[in-house]
Structure 1
């Protein structure tokens, strides 16, 4: 019986904590999502350019 009481107590504490959470507004959520998407695209492009440059550089070193 003690195991069931622990589980119930845990679920109650989770619900109580969730009431204290400050959730973002739809506007803020949309803005933050766009920042993450834009950052991901920028970093993907940066890594692609770096990868291409390193590949070409190593290719030139190997040919010589």
Structure 2
């Protein structure tokens, strides 16, 4: 039981050492991630549509 308590105490100590991002940094990171995901979703959607049309033309 003591090992489990020590484990959680160690977790608490380590979490206090973490350098958490500020609100502005987190907002910037979040916007960057969302924009990147949206870009790649649109990109792969267009590529998929193009390949589908190409295959449809070949098979007709």
TM-score by length of 1: 0.90
Count how many residue pairs are aligned between Structure 1 and Structure 2: 60
- 1:31 deviates by 0.4
- Higher Rg: 1
RMSD: 0.6
Query: Is 2:52 aligned against 1:61?
Result: no
* TM superposition outliers: structure 1 runs of 4+ over 2 Å: none
Unpaired runs of at least 5, structure 2? none
How much has 1:61 moved relative to structure 2?
A: 1.1
